[in-house]
Amino acid sequence: MKEKLMILEDLQEIDLKSDGSQSRIQDALSEIEALDSRLQEVSSAVDSKNAEIEATENERKALEENLALETANITRSEANLKGIATQKEYQAVNKEIASAKKLILELEEQILQKITRAEELRAELATMEGDLSELEQNLGVQKAEIQKRINNEQAVVATDVKVRAERIKAIPPGLFKRYEKLRESRRGIAVVEARDGGCLGCNMQIPPQMYNNLFKGEEMITCPHCQRILVLKQEKLV
């Protein structure tokens, strides 16, 4: 039984180490995800800036079309003036021309505003694109570093998987099953040290007779409070 307990203890150590690696790998993956979503954010801000510029340009074009239309109207009306016989009609056409000219002034003012706005937006876009490319560069470096960390952890886990399989082979399947169940229900810790008459897993006292039996090493003893498998501090397997 002593031998089996030592193997269990070793298994526990390997599994805790692997749990630690897995959780660091998960953290690293979340870091990569966060970096990617930051990039996505800046990239979509660039997209919407581009869309805003396009919309402004389209508005300008529409205004310019109106301007061309009004200018053509004036030319036509001015040509018509020559053929007009009555004073009343003459005045009416002149009035039309005057209001078209007023409209043209307004359109020109609006077009100018659109041009200015588009220039502002382009300047903003240039800054954003600069930020984006800087971010992309930094991201590459940061992601490579994180990936290196992940690879290191995975290499450690891969080595331990072999040792773990050997340890499992060395104990009865029923015992391993029990160990796994305990790990599931006891936050990953199935084997704990007993010291000074107590369980270090739940910090409760163990009945003295039970504690004494641990020293004999004849049977597997579990904590009556947390059900974990108790071991005394002993030499590690090599």
143 counts as binding Zn ion under rule CB under 5 A = no
**Residues 6 or more apart whose Cβ sits within 8 Å of residue 90:** 81, 84
Contact indicator for 111, 63 with CB cutoff of 8 Å: yes
Q: Least distance from C-beta 178 to Zn ion, angstroms?
A: 15
Stretch that binds Zn ion, among 40-48, 96-104, 146-154, 222-230 (CB under 5 A): 222-230
Q: Which of 111, 150, 199, 231 binds Zn ion (CB under 5 A)?
A: 199
Show Cβ contacts of residue 77 under 8 Å, excluding neighbours closer than 6 positions: 93, 96, 97, 100
From the CB of 186, what's the least distance to Zn ion, in Å?
9
Of 97-105, 124-132, 161-169, 200-208, which part binds Zn ion (CB under 5 A)?
A: 200-208
- C-beta of 170 vs 200, nearer to Zn ion: 200
Among positions 202, 210, 220, 232, the unique one binding Zn ion when judged by CB under 5 A:
202
Residues 146-185 that bind Zn ion (CB under 5 A): none
Count of residues binding Zn ion (CB under 5 A)?
A: 6
Taking CB under 5 A as the rule, does residue 225 contact Zn ion? yes
CB 226, min distance to Zn ion, A:
3
The least CB distance from residue 6 to Zn ion, in Å, is 20
- Pick 149 or 225: Cβ nearer Zn ion: 225
**Of 28, 201, 221, 231, which lies in the binding site for Zn ion, with binding defined by CB under 5 A?**
201
Nearer to Zn ion, 97 or 199 (CB): 199
Q: C-alpha 40: how far from its chain's center?
A: 10
Contact residues for 164 (Cβ-Cβ < 8 A; gap 6+) = 11, 14, 15, 18
- Min dist CB 223 to Zn ion, Å, is 3
Is there binding between residue 223 and Zn ion (CB under 5 A)?
A: yes
| Interface residue list for Zn ion (CB under 5 A) | 199, 201-202, 223, 225-226
